[in-house]
Amino acid sequence: MRRTRGLPGLETAASRLAMSTRTLRRRLQEEGTTYQEVLDEVRCDLAKRYLAGDELAVGAVAFLLGFSEPSAFHRAFRRWMGQAPGDFRKAAG
Protein backbone atom coordinates (compact mmCIF):
# COMPACT_ATOMS: atom_id res chain seq x y z
CA MET A 1 0.00 0.00 0.00
CA ARG A 2 1.46 3.37 -1.05
CA ARG A 3 0.65 6.09 1.45
CA THR A 4 0.97 9.82 1.01
CA ARG A 5 1.24 12.30 3.83
CA GLY A 6 -1.84 14.39 3.17
CA LEU A 7 -3.90 12.37 0.73
CA PRO A 8 -5.65 9.12 1.66
CA GLY A 9 -4.81 5.80 0.09
CA LEU A 10 -7.39 3.76 -1.79
CA GLU A 11 -8.32 1.73 1.28
CA THR A 12 -8.90 4.82 3.41
CA ALA A 13 -10.91 6.56 0.70
CA ALA A 14 -13.10 3.51 0.18
CA SER A 15 -13.68 3.18 3.91
CA ARG A 16 -14.67 6.83 4.24
CA LEU A 17 -17.08 6.37 1.35
CA ALA A 18 -18.54 3.29 3.10
CA MET A 19 -17.63 0.88 0.33
CA SER A 20 -15.09 -1.80 -0.37
CA THR A 21 -11.93 -1.05 -2.32
CA ARG A 22 -13.22 -3.33 -5.07
CA THR A 23 -16.46 -1.34 -5.34
CA LEU A 24 -14.56 1.96 -5.42
CA ARG A 25 -12.28 0.65 -8.18
CA ARG A 26 -15.27 -0.60 -10.16
CA ARG A 27 -17.12 2.72 -9.84
CA LEU A 28 -14.07 4.68 -10.88
CA GLN A 29 -13.63 2.36 -13.86
CA GLU A 30 -17.26 3.01 -14.82
CA GLU A 31 -16.35 6.72 -14.88
CA GLY A 32 -13.33 6.00 -17.05
CA THR A 33 -10.70 6.77 -14.43
CA THR A 34 -8.58 5.20 -11.71
CA TYR A 35 -7.82 6.14 -8.13
CA GLN A 36 -4.27 7.08 -9.15
CA GLU A 37 -5.58 9.44 -11.85
CA VAL A 38 -7.91 11.12 -9.35
CA LEU A 39 -5.07 11.37 -6.84
CA ASP A 40 -2.75 12.90 -9.46
CA GLU A 41 -5.43 15.43 -10.42
CA VAL A 42 -5.86 16.48 -6.79
CA ARG A 43 -2.10 16.67 -6.29
CA CYS A 44 -1.72 18.80 -9.43
CA ASP A 45 -4.49 21.18 -8.35
CA LEU A 46 -2.99 21.53 -4.87
CA ALA A 47 0.50 22.01 -6.29
CA LYS A 48 -0.70 24.85 -8.53
CA ARG A 49 -2.48 26.49 -5.59
CA TYR A 50 0.57 26.19 -3.31
CA LEU A 51 2.99 27.40 -5.99
CA ALA A 52 0.83 30.41 -6.89
CA GLY A 53 1.83 31.89 -3.55
CA ASP A 54 5.38 32.34 -2.36
CA GLU A 55 5.01 31.32 1.28
CA LEU A 56 6.01 27.67 0.68
CA ALA A 57 9.29 26.48 -0.77
CA VAL A 58 9.02 23.97 -3.62
CA GLY A 59 10.47 21.29 -1.34
CA ALA A 60 7.76 21.96 1.22
CA VAL A 61 5.09 21.63 -1.48
CA ALA A 62 6.59 18.28 -2.47
CA PHE A 63 6.49 17.12 1.15
CA LEU A 64 2.89 18.27 1.67
CA LEU A 65 1.77 16.39 -1.42
CA GLY A 66 3.40 13.19 -0.22
CA PHE A 67 6.37 12.94 -2.56
CA SER A 68 9.36 11.05 -1.21
CA GLU A 69 11.75 13.73 -2.45
CA PRO A 70 11.61 17.04 -4.34
CA SER A 71 12.98 15.49 -7.54
CA ALA A 72 9.98 13.12 -7.72
CA PHE A 73 7.68 16.13 -7.37
CA HIS A 74 9.59 18.00 -10.10
CA ARG A 75 9.18 15.05 -12.50
CA ALA A 76 5.47 14.72 -11.73
CA PHE A 77 4.85 18.45 -12.09
CA ARG A 78 6.63 18.52 -15.45
CA ARG A 79 4.45 15.61 -16.58
CA TRP A 80 1.27 17.39 -15.42
CA MET A 81 2.02 20.93 -16.53
CA GLY A 82 4.86 20.72 -19.06
CA GLN A 83 7.10 23.00 -17.02
CA ALA A 84 9.14 23.02 -13.83
CA PRO A 85 7.49 24.10 -10.56
CA GLY A 86 9.79 27.11 -10.32
CA ASP A 87 8.86 28.26 -13.82
CA PHE A 88 5.17 27.88 -12.99
CA ARG A 89 5.67 29.98 -9.85
CA LYS A 90 7.43 32.75 -11.80
CA ALA A 91 4.65 32.84 -14.40
CA ALA A 92 1.94 32.85 -11.71
CA GLY A 93 3.58 35.67 -9.76
Residue that wins the pLDDT comparison between 3 and 46: 46
d(CA 37, CA 32): 10
pLDDT value at residue 7: 77
* DSSP one-letter string for 23-68: HHHHHHHHTT--HHHHHHHHHHHHHHHHHHSSSS-HHHHHHHTT-S
Domains, the chain, ranges and CATH?
Answer: 10-92 (1.10.10.60)
In degrees to the nearest 10, what's the CA dihedral of 79, 85, 87, 89? 130
What pLDDT, on a 0 to 100 scale, did the predictor assign at position 68? Answer: 87
pLDDT in tens, 55-91: 999 999 999 998 989 999 999 999 999 999 999 999 9
Report the pLDDT value the prediction gives residue 2, as an integer from 0 to 100: 44
**Sign of the CA dihedral 72, 73, 78, 83?**
negative
